[in-house]
Amino acid sequence: SQQGEEDPQALSIQEGENATMNCSYKTSINNLQWYRQNSGRGLVHLILIRSNEREKHSGRLRVTLDTSKKSSSLLITASRAADTASYFCATADSGAGSYQLTFGKGTKLSVIP
Amino acid sequence: DSGVTQTPKHLITATGQRVTLRCSPRSGDLSVYWYQQSLDQGLQFLIQYYNGEERAKGNILERFSAQQFPDLHSELNLSSLELGDSALYFCASSVGTPIGTQYFGPGTRLLVL
The DSSP result for B43-82, as a single string, is EEEEEEEETTEEEEE-S--TTEEEEE-TTS-EEEEE-S--
* Rounded percentage of chain A residues whose pLDDT exceeds 70: 92
Q: How far apart are CA A98 and CA A100, in angstroms?
A: 6
Chain A interface, Cβ < 8 Å to B: 2, 30-31, 33, 35, 40-45, 48, 88, 92-93, 98-106
Shortest CA gap A21–chain B (Å): 17
The more confident residue out of B97 and A84 is A84
Chain B: residue whose CA lies nearest to A39: B106
pLDDT value of position A94: 67
pLDDT on residue B39: 80
pLDDT (0 to 100) of residue A1: 45
Distance of CA B102 to the CA centre of its chain: 13
pLDDT in the model for residue A101: 85
Q: Does B107 contact chain A (CB < 8 Å)? A: yes
Nearest to residue A26, comparing CAs of A55, A8, A9, A2? A2
3-state helix, strand, coil in chain B (%, to 5): 5, 55, 45
Of A91, A45, A50, A34, the C-alpha closest to B103 is: A45
Chain A closest-CA separation from residue B80 CA (Å):
24
Nearest in space to A89 (alpha carbons), one of A40, A28, A36: A36
The 3-state DSSP class for residue B104 equals: strand
The amino acid that residue A67 corresponds to is T
Collect all residues of chain A within an 8 Å Cβ-Cβ radius of residue B4: 42
Statement: residue A75 has pLDDT above 80: yes
Q: How far separated are the first and last CA of chain B, in Å rounded?
A: 31
For the stretch B36-82, pLDDT in tens is 999 877 889 999 999 999 988 988 999 999 999 999 999 999 999 99
Q: How many residues are recorded in chain B? A: 113
